[in-house]
Amino acid sequence: MRTNRAVLKWVLVLACAAGAVIALADIRTPARPILTALFLLVVPGASVVGLLRDRDPLAALTVGAAASLVINVLLAEAMLMFDAWSPRAGVATVAVLGGFMWVLRSLYRGNGSAHTEQGAGSR
């Protein structure tokens, strides 16, 4: 089961990265709408879920999905309001925002590899 999750995670990461590269490089391919939409929907949500790691999994996924939609809608509204519509800029903005939230999670929670118990029993 753990191997299946790891494989699914890496397939999703590669598909999202491919979607971002395809959109930023303006490559015309039939997979472009699917991979770019996957990137735009998964990256903000996964970043928020990473910040909510210790919460109930269903609540974290719900908040992540809502945050993903909110981030994309606010970005689209801002680009339309300022008459600066650019799909490439939207993908780049979501990538920078996702990277910022990943760095924030890494700084706030640590990288997760050295998990130590704190408290009276650990002395």
Q: How far apart are CA 105 and CA 12, in angstroms?
A: 20
CA–CA dist 16, 39 (Å, integer): 4
95 contact partners, CB below 8 Å, separation of at least 6: 20, 43
Please indicate, yes or no, if residue 98 is contained in any of the structural domains. no
On whether residue 111 sits in a domain, the answer given is no
pTM across the whole model: 0.80
Looking at the structure of the chain, the number of domains it has is: 1
CA atoms within 13 A on the CB side of 73: 6
Structural domain includes residue 101: no
pLDDT tens for the chain, residues 1 to 123: 788 889 998 999 999 999 999 999 999 999 999 999 999 999 999 999 988 877 888 999 999 999 999 999 999 999 999 999 999 999 999 999 999 998 998 888 765 555 544 545 544
> In which domain, by residue range, is 31 found?
2-83
